[in-house]
Structure 1
């Protein structure tokens, strides 16, 4: 352990000394109110010069933000001045508080919770709603995103880990909708604003360079970025750019379980193999036929190296007070190559070797033993015990680019704005797998994993080899594309109703996947693939897992796995037709919208009232393959009527009213209320006619082109007390009556096993499935299929409390928040990603050159999606995280900072039904990021 601490210090020091990259952390930020959305925004000085009143302006303002207290005050002012119920984060929040990406910064906001199933946070919930039910916009436009993980479940939730925080000036979280804001959100709308060149001093140059380190894997990576902004002396033309290079090595270590089987079904297969041990225990009353047995407890080791390069350029032109135009260019390449090893002794695969089972609470079998004979240096091993090691090497390179233009004409009390652009993202992913086999006996325990009976043979590479199936290569070309255009008109009036806004918008989103599997790699021994020694998985040790899970054989890694698959002579010619037909699809969504909104206000009351009309059309395409073609697993198929590439079309229209009102009871006390109807949509892949199966564990997930949009009636209210210039106490309540909530339904379907005809499949898995009664000899198997359906009504009700205060001149301050969210479907089921209780506590200190902050986050149990194709949804246990940061201002131009994340190395634990029914548990290690900053 002392060696790891020394390595940490040395790695961070080396990263600081050797990295020549730069990192942008501009301390002059653009702050916008929630009214500064769309093509009608402009700078405050232009508004004043044109003669419009402050009450009617609702424009961008330039605010200098230089520290923790100033950052919190700027965010608080945005909240205070808004018409709607809004929270905000300035870019300084991301740098001064413990966060390495935008999602972690959002976690400081009341009502926002994160799911941390994979390192590098992806999924963000707002007010207890599924991340797919939020909308995120960058400068009021969407950013297309291809999925990054092979086999991941696509969702509409924005993947903030792909967006470098350095390009942002401010984020706003709009919790109560307005008619002018883009439709699609049930939880909240996140508006991300970039820094504009005419809003910062000319020749601003800032940046940083540093290193990040994870103590579980003992690996450090460099990162850096630079921001530069210039404008001419007349402030009529300016340009800025933000560039970033970021690297991170992450690991997730723990235990997974791939579903459960009943004792009755396993006993039937055991007796067919001549084994009466299970029946004897049933007869003795030690176990019951209805008890559930974990199928495979797996030692799971996921490692990923991320290398991201990004560039954002803004060109702003304002020749006079009557016109301004901005052109934005975005380009990102994010390399996310990863390896994933799952080493799982599989008792139910060979029940003939089971000698004992132990019953635990809630009808779960919690332990057992299996006997078997290891085979030496052979690819044709036969044994009564089976242990598999799935070794995946996945290549992933997400390329995202976008062009956005917006312009506004200003007249005498009116404005006409336009915005249009296109954003595209693609990822040509590849996945290579070698599945190794070991035939020796083992014991297992649901709390500690499995332990090999003879570790000396289990840890000898000569006893591991392919066994009937040599693996495969899968490719998936995933594409996403957004095209959009909108026109907005605003007119000022004297009187209580002071502004009228009208506009129209067209948006088209295209998402598609083309997947292929190349079959027939040669069977190899572990030595022939490349033996990488024994693992030393400290994360599994921290979870109390068995010695065999912590220390077992492994390959040489990514290149060895890939080369072993591709080295087969002639490989790449044979393709699996079923994989292509079942997993190739396309979905297009087209939205045509129009809105009208009236803004009103005086010294005491302000707000807005409006309605938005949305016409939505879906075009869903995929393959419908007849059974005789699936059985043959061939591309040479004569599709009859109704088969082949089929397309379905659906359309929906919605009128969405929205009203917001804020009452300034006193100068420092504000009451707000809001009512609205909103609409949201299912993830794109759920709308496609596809069928993605896991032929080994016989689970699958399918799409449903007949899904209707979510529709919700919403009521919000808040009370806010600003008891000094840097302090606020606020309380809010929210209620959502969702008229159609899409839920996943599980059914059993008899389908052709798409892998049945693959070389070696019958030997390695198929014969065991026949023995268990799950498949016929012709390969017709019973799949547990999960598919989305229109689920009827759901209700969400809750409240938030938030507090922020600076304690005089002491340098100390604090912010904290608590969220209660009670969400249920009409049938009483949980809503995905909803935690009933969550809170954040964040004390900070800032005085002189020193600054520091701590953040403790907690969220209750919640329902999350399954992690493999068709896997049932899991419940995630309560999760806690402790983060901290510290900074020192060396001089006016230079500073250093240290972010320390996940200091508790918290366990992510997921279960099925009851907490005794394990699904998976992981740890990801503590992360440290040390950076040096500069600004001129």
Structure 2
């Protein structure tokens, strides 16, 4: 026995001595920049040839390899648009080698080729797309500056598979592959951004000025370390950092824009500054980056819409939109193993709108006309604070991040008037994009109208979220192949509050002379509008006479109490994922677990009107629901380099999207009306609109397959197929036939539908030529099927807002002095909603924009942009294209500006 122990002990000692004889591994870190070390390049592929180890440069141009045995190795760096770099290095025992690499093209420094201009934007985006582990589309900061885009939404519309929903002609919400924007996840510097708008999850990306953005990434397939609520995809907005560029940098932009429809000229100013600071003889360790953008835009639109049956409404909009955005970002990097950062982003978006409208109801001798006004100021604010760090601890990479974000929307003292008249002859065939209304002369004169109602509202929405996450990753060898194991956790706590306060005034109007509110006739380009309303006279009258006006208390209370609610959501997530490189094959796979605790509180509000019993009252009762649910979601992303220039990708993921807050909110608005007919019979009609706190999240199985060919230089030719099988799709249905609603005539409630599927292909081609020509085109062809209910029956249709065809075409030219781009975006018709028995369709939209720059030198340029050159309107129709639902014109916009960069 002692002999055996001696043998074992001797063997262990020999193993320990043998292990100690091995040399301690070393590390290698590098930085990739231009010849002047002023610009860093992200997304370059870096490889240690002998070990088949690969990585990518980060946004500050750095890369790192850990745990390398001492010896000589060959480093290979490839970046689209530049000559490859090949260099021999020597790794010493237990030391970290640092080196600097410079991109060149055909033996010349690349600074004049890829540092600025069209080619810079394309090169940066394509390199990051090529090296990504998942399926991504990317817009670099340089590319954003090459288009006449006012905000993040408009910048994203240039990418394959992306389309935008417009508000007053400006891009607002982004749809990915035709899906509802509520099914996307939006983050800023890694922090989830809440929505300032009441009741929804979708973030209106027009609140983010494009000048504050360093880059945009759209992930169409997710990995397990990403949030799972991304059926459409995930949009990451990155703001600038001082370590994105070397040394001191600054920029200033001044712009004037002119809207042709309203003949208004508006200013815009933006500026940025960044610098690094040293302490003693130590390298740059502290970085400060700041940016600010302000614009004040006056514009408007002319609108005409109908219900497809017996109503036509003319609308004239006068709008002012002011945007203020600011960012202050701090970085502290005492050494390469430790990095700390603080990211802040503030955005304020205000919208002042004065809308005048004429609404015609055709009913023979009972025809009516309403003249109305909407005078409201709306302000949205978003604040994002992010702090975190990254530590390389031996062979482990630890990252952690804490965040706070808040979004709010305030609509104080909104004032709406309604004037009515009847007894006039009206006629319209309701046909054509712009229906013509035949009317007597007196219809256009305000003196023939009586004040019918005044609505005064103070509405507010707040959405805030706290979050904390940590991630641990370690490089290792598995089955003799380079691998990585990564795991982590994330906690999010969110509260969405909607507070509605509405007061209706509907009496004591008999002695009011409508002539006192007459204003100038609006310049309405779609026909005759008649006398206008004076905004200041309307506001002044209300302020002076409010105390004497008769309040419709029950109508006011039912809307104020019924539409107010608070939703809370706590999400705890944990994940584990692994990466392995097998020759040319890279596999990233993992699982993500998410547990959600959800609560909602609101009111059950019932308005009871009983003529027989002389009852007229409002019953209000609190309503609260608590529930929780969890999911285990797998993800698989595979990348195979067929050749150096040909890459294939496959992804299978499971994702979810939680219902809109207004759909899952605890609210019920019920109206009961009891009357006695001429035969003395009592009848009661009961109708309700209710939320559904028991709604399940959308669930989706997603399959993606793409082929990308990089032919050399700056360019790519790609094709992809995608398929989504979505269950628990939310639809609105009449559930009055359910047992809990017995005795109701109609109950409209969101419920989980059967299923929906979406599939399609994405095609993209980008090519820059040595003579300065740039050509880019992309197109997405998709098809969807969804099951909904119409009048209690199953009804098959396409997904709302899903367009069968979305595409972009860009033709550009660039030399040392000029940068020119002509761009076209196209979105085919799509189903907007089911309106009664009619299908409301959004017509195809095709917009042409032009941008140009003249470089006075590398620091200064003048630019001119022309937006919506063909004056493309927005048009919706009912079932048939000549049956108007909404027609709206915005006019052309021209911009002239000057930019200085240091």
Alpha-carbon offset, residue 329 of structure 1: 2.1
**Unaligned runs of at least 5 residues, structure 1:** 1-26, 148-152, 261-293, 354-383, 541-546, 751-779
**Distance in 1 between the 2:265 and 2:606 partners?**
52
Q: Does 1:417 align with 2:415?
A: no
Q: Identify if the C-alpha distance between structure 1 residues 450 and 889 changes in structure 2 by more than 3 Å, giving closer, same or farther.
A: same
Pick aligned residue for 2:639 from 641, 652, 662: 662
Aligned to 2:538: 561
- In structure 2, the CA distance between the partners of 1:749 and 1:879, relative to structure 1 (3 Å rule), is farther
Contact 1:578/1:633, CA 8 A, preserved across alignment: no
Using the alignment, how far apart are the partners of 1:813 and 1:493 within structure 2? 43
CA distances 1:560-608 after superposition (whole Å, capped 9, x unpaired): 3333333314169955211122111111122110011101225512130
1:851 aligns with 2:819: yes
Q: Is the 8 A contact 2:44 2:77 kept in 1?
A: no
Give the match for residue 389 of structure 2.
407
The equivalent residue for 2:863 is 897
Contact 2:41–2:124, Cα closer than 8 Å, also in 1: no
Matched, 1:208 2:257: no
Asked if 1:594 corresponds to 2:560, the answer is: no
Give distance in 2, aligned partners of 1:98 and 1:34.
31
Instruction: Find the aligned partners of 1:733 and 1:108 in 2 and give their Cα distance.
Output: 19
Larger radius of gyration: 2
Give the whole-Å Cα distance in 1 for the aligned partners of 2:543 and 2:809.
52
Assess if the C-alpha contact under 8 Å between 1:226 and 1:242 holds in 2.
yes
Aligned counterparts of 1:176 and 1:396: Cα–Cα separation in 2: 35
Provide TM-score, normalisation by structure 2. Answer: 0.81
| CA–CA separation in structure 2 for the residues paired with 1:444 and 1:62 | 71
Q: CA RMSD in A?
A: 3.4
Give me the whole-angstrom Cα distance separating, in 2, the residues matched to 1:720 and 1:694. Answer: 58
Contact persistence 1:577–1:635 (CA under 8 A): no
| Superimposed CA distance per residue, residues 724-765 of structure 1 (whole angstroms, 9 cap, x where no aligned partner) | 121110000001111221122256799xxxxxxxxxxxxxxx
Q: Deviations over 1:102-123 (max 9, x none)?
A: 1111111111112225332112
Deviations 1:767-794 (A, max 9, x none): xxxxxxxxxxxxx9977x6532101111
Encode CA deviations 1:287-333: one digit per residue, 9 max, x unaligned: xxxxxxx2320002233211121211101111122221111222222
Normalization by structure 1: what TM-score? 0.78
Residues 848, 876 of structure 1: CA spacing in aligned structure 2 closer, same or farther, 3 A cutoff?
Answer: same
Provide the C-alpha distance between the structure 2 equivalents of 1:449 and 1:649, rounded to a whole number of angstroms.
50
Deviation at 1:531, TM superposition (A): 1.8
Partners of 2:301 and 2:623 in 1: CA distance: 40
1:138 corresponds to: 188
In 1, Cα distance between the equivalents of 2:64 and 2:548?
66
503, 506, 510: which one aligns with 1:518: 503
- Is residue 347 of structure 2 the alignment partner of residue 332 of structure 1? yes
Give the whole-Å Cα distance in 2 for the aligned partners of 1:100 and 1:44.
28
Instruction: State the alpha-carbon separation in 2 of the partners of residues 652 and 175 from structure 1.
Output: 25
- Correspondent of 1:680 among 629, 654, 657: 657
Cα gap change, 1:42/1:256 in structure 2, threshold over 3 Å: closer, same or farther? Answer: closer
Cα displacement string for residues 878-913 of structure 1 (whole angstroms, at most 9, x for unaligned residues): 111111111111122110112222112222221233
> Matches of 2:297 and 2:206 in 1, distance apart?
11
- Aligned match of 2:285: 236
**Candidates 878, 881, 895, aligned match of 2:847:** 881
**Alpha carbons of 1:582 and 1:405: their partners in 2 closer, same or farther (altered >3 Å)?**
same
Distance 1:94 1:34 in 2: 23
Q: In the alignment, is the contact (CA less than 8 A) between 2:277 and 2:286 conserved in 1? A: yes
State the Cα distance separating 1:470 from its structure 2 match.
3.1
1:317/1:529 Cα in 2 relative to 1: closer, same or farther (>3 Å)? farther
SS at 2:116's partner residue?
Answer: coil
1:298 aligned to 2:264? no
Change (3 A) 1:86 1:304: same
Taking CA–CA contacts closer than 8 Å with sequence separation of 6 or more, which of the two structures ends up with the larger relative contact order? 1
Give the Å deviation of 1:57: 15
Deviates most, 652-661 or 602-611: 602-611
The answer to whether residue 770 in structure 2 is matched with residue 792 in structure 1 is no
Once the two structures are overlaid, the 10-residue window that deviates more, 229-238 or 41-50, is: 41-50
Structure 2 Cα separation of the partners of residues 519 and 442 of structure 1? 29
Alpha-carbon contact 2:362-2:427 (below 8 Å) kept: no
Matched, 1:613 2:593: yes
TM-fit CA distance, 1:629: 8.8
Cα distance in 2 for partners of 1:533, 1:787 equals: 44
| Matching of residue 725 in structure 1 with residue 693 in structure 2 | no
Higher strand share: 2
User: Contact 1:137/1:190 (CA < 8 Å) preserved in 2?
Assistant: yes
CA distance in 2, matches of 1:247, 1:85: 37
Deviates more, 1:93-102 or 1:663-672: 93-102
Asked if 2 retains the 8 angstrom alpha-carbon contact of 1:86 and 1:174, the reply is yes
Per the alignment, in what secondary structure is the counterpart of residue 187 of structure 2?
strand
Q: Is there any run of 5+ residues in structure 2 with no aligned partner, and where?
A: 1-37, 47-56, 80-100, 104-113, 673-685, 788-794
CA offset digits 1:376-415 (Å, max 9, x no partner): xxxxxxxx43210120101111122232111112112211
Aligned to 1:625, what secondary structure does the other structure show?
strand
Secondary structure in structure 2 of the residue aligned to 1:122: strand
Distance 1:745 1:556, change over 3 A: same
Matched residue count: 780
Kindly state the Cα deviation for residue 625 of structure 1 after the two structures are TM-superposed. 2.4
Partner of 1:279: none
- Relative distance call for 1:604 and 1:253 in structure 2 (3 A) is same
Q: How far apart in 2 are the matches of 1:628 and 1:435?
A: 25
> SS at the partner of 1:892?
coil
Structure 2 matches for 1:740-889, cutoff 5 A?
740-746=728-734, 786-807=748-769, 809-826=770-787, 828-864=796-832, 874-889=840-855
Among 470, 483, 495, the residue aligned to 1:498: 483
What pairs with 1:308-323 in structure 2 (closer than 5 Å)?
308-323=323-338
Inter-partner Cα distance in structure 2 for 1:630 and 1:32: 70
Distance in structure 1 (CA, Å) of the matches to 2:120 and 2:61: 20
Paired residue for 1:535? 522
| 1:121 aligned counterpart, secondary structure | strand
Residues 887, 128 of structure 1: alpha-carbon distance in 2 compared, 3 angstrom cutoff: same
CA distance in 2, matches of 1:781, 1:301: 39
- Paired position in structure 1 for 2:209: 164
Distance in 2, matches of 1:560 and 1:460, equals 17
Q: How far is the alpha carbon of 1:250 from its aligned partner?
A: 3.1
Query: Is the aligned partner of 1:445 residue 2:429?
Result: yes
Which of 459, 468, 471 is 1:485 aligned to?
468
Tell me, yes or no, if the aligned pair for 2:606 and 2:670 is still in contact at 8 Å.
no
Residue of structure 1 equivalent to 2:873: 907
- Return the offset for 1:693: 9.9
CA offset at residue 633 of structure 1?
13
Given that 2:707 and 2:720 are in contact with CA atoms closer than 8 Å, whether structure 1 keeps it comes out as yes
Q: Tell me if structure 2 keeps the 8 A contact 1:94–1:101.
A: no
